[in-house]
Amino acid sequence: MKNKIIFILTIFLFTACSKLLDEKPKAIAASNFYNKPAEVEAGLNAIYPPLRDQGNMGALYQTQLEIYTEYMYGRGSHAPLNTYTGLDNTNITRVSDMWRRFYEAIRDANIVIQKTPLGKEIGEADATRFIAEAKFMRGLIYFHLVRNWAGVPIRTEANMEDQNVPRSSQDDVYALILSDLTAAEAGLGETGRLPGAPTKWSAKAVLADVYMNMHDYQKAADEAKQIITSNKFSLVNVTVADDFDKLYGPEVEGSTEEVFFLKFSRTPSGQGFSYPIYAHYPNSGYYPPGGFYTFYSDSEQNLFVKQWDRADLRYVYNWYSQTFGLSPTTILNKKFSDKTTTTSGGNDYPMYRYADVLLFYAECAARVANAPTADAMEQLNIVHRRAYGKNPLVADASVDFKLANYSSLDAFINLVVRERTYEDCSEGKHWLDLKRLGIVKQVILADKGITVTDKHLLWPIPSNEYNYNKDIDPIKDQNPGY
């Protein structure tokens, strides 16, 4: 079934394939296209492939962000990331490609937003849903852009034909993100257009994350709470470590924990999740097509991993021993594994899970109250119980954190951050969390003994951008140190 879903998306993409290859995106929007719902859906589907590309969220985006964390290290051409002094030429090229693919997806979202209202055979209800999905995707992509590059050129349906667009401030980018996501929240339905398409709950989850990055904790808590009280989601039950395959496994089509996942499939060709090939060692059994083992950790020499409770089922599920000329305690991450594939991974990328929402709420509720609350602690314990194979919804004195032991706000926030690090290990989320919290330098120094330079906190504006966009000055508009 999962393969069929992706195949349906591919058929829609092929419908507009030749048009998508045109240099100017307005070529897609001629009067003979975007007139029928199926044509708009083809345009919506075109937003996703640049994100699923191996050079972006199909593999290299998460790989880059994971190597930055206190628990991971990079190998080969990714090894320079271990210095925390910025990007070398190879890694600058990689992030430039990510920038390009993000803006390709934004272009396709802009076309849908601009042309859907002009469709001759599109009803108002369909138009509202289609535009809401395009705005959701555009807002989500700008959210990733602003956190990695700070201010960026804002390209919308109003100026998408303009080659020269100035770099906007970070505040202006966030204003667009909020506008897009609030429109998506209002216009999307309870269920997605297709499996993997966003819902109004997806929009609320991203909004909670955005508000947290803007330090508006009341609004973030409100968005997360609405998802929790909707009773639409629950954690996948786990009693042994392998049960996490019901959440992350390659055969999973969906779960009660899925708020917004980027969907992949082994077939047809080009639709698979390439991230596992960067995670695994050849012949390890976790990914038969091979493996680059681009990132790794150490169960004894890495302070964070060494302190991770081995009774935590997330540790058992995440790591396996693998020596390849480094320490005998070298470990690789196996969260995303596909043991039977002969092509590429069938795993989906969990951009927002219900566990994320619970932990968002726990942090934000405590910040709003300026102290940990029983409600905040309970949401944290729901996630923590699952990690030890317990019923998430039943109090368990053997594993529950006690409010009395974390009575200060700082102590509780540190606890939530640690729990979220365990929960989101290898999902490409933790580095962005560290930046949001303003604790990158202290965490990396404490766990790796390395001083992070300011230059390393942002990626450089790509040369292709300022070479062709004359409103971007390669000196004045460049991020510090590049």
> Beta strands 319-321 and 73-74: pairing type?
unpaired
- For position 18, what pLDDT does the model report? 32
79 CB contacts (<8 Å, ≥6 apart)? none
Positive or negative, the Cα torsion across 169, 173, 176, 178? Answer: negative
Q: What span, in angstroms and rounded, lies between the C-alpha atoms of 395 and 451? A: 41
68 CB contacts (<8 Å, ≥6 apart)? 81, 84, 431
- For position 6, what pLDDT does the model report? 47
Looking at the structure, tell me whether residues 362 and 430 fall in a common domain: yes
Classify residue 473: in a domain, yes or no: no
Residue numbers of the domain that contains 421: 199-261+351-451
- For position 33, what pLDDT does the model report? 84
Looking at the structure, tell me whether residues 49 and 142 fall in a common domain: yes
Classify residue 460: in a domain, yes or no: no
Positive or negative, the Cα torsion across 334, 458, 180, 214? Answer: positive
Classify residue 270: in a domain, yes or no: no
- For position 269, what pLDDT does the model report? 77
Q: What span, in angstroms and rounded, lies between the C-alpha atoms of 139 and 159? A: 16
Q: What span, in angstroms and rounded, lies between the C-alpha atoms of 229 and 381? A: 17
Cα atoms in the Cβ-side hemisphere of radius 13 Å centred on 362: 29
The full length of the chain comes to 482
* CATH number of residue 12's parent domain: 1.25.40.390
Structural domain count, the chain: 3
Classify residue 27: in a domain, yes or no: yes
Classify residue 477: in a domain, yes or no: no
Helix or strand or coil: residue 4? helix
End-to-end CA distance of the chain: 47
* CATH number of residue 372's parent domain: 1.25.40.900
- For position 5, what pLDDT does the model report? 43
- For position 26, what pLDDT does the model report? 40
Looking at the structure, tell me whether residues 237 and 186 fall in a common domain: no
Q: What span, in angstroms and rounded, lies between the C-alpha atoms of 290 and 56? A: 20
Q: What span, in angstroms and rounded, lies between the C-alpha atoms of 196 and 83? A: 37
418 CB contacts (<8 Å, ≥6 apart)? none
- For position 270, what pLDDT does the model report? 81
State the Rg of the chain over Cα.
22
What is Dmax (Cα atoms) for the chain?
66
Nearest to 209 by CA among 133, 143, 142: 143
**What distances in angstroms separate CA 415 from CA 106, 140, 176, one per listed residue?**
36, 27, 32
- For position 2, what pLDDT does the model report? 61
Looking at the structure, tell me whether residues 244 and 379 fall in a common domain: yes
Tens of each residue's pLDDT in the chain, 482 residues: 465 344 344 444 433 333 222 333 344 444 568 999 999 999 999 999 999 999 999 999 999 999 999 999 999 999 999 999 999 999 999 999 999 999 999 999 999 999 999 999 999 999 999 999 999 999 999 999 999 999 999 999 999 999 999 999 999 999 999 999 999 999 999 999 999 999 999 999 999 999 999 999 999 999 999 999 999 999 999 999 999 999 999 999 999 999 999 999 998 878 999 999 999 999 999 999 999 999 999 999 999 999 999 999 999 999 999 999 999 999 999 999 999 999 899 999 999 999 999 999 999 999 999 999 999 999 999 999 999 999 999 999 999 999 999 999 999 999 999 999 999 999 999 999 999 999 999 999 999 999 999 999 999 999 999 999 999 999 999 999 99
If residue 351 lies in a helix (H) or strand (E), which one and from where to where?
A: strand 349-353
Looking at the structure, tell me whether residues 308 and 380 fall in a common domain: no
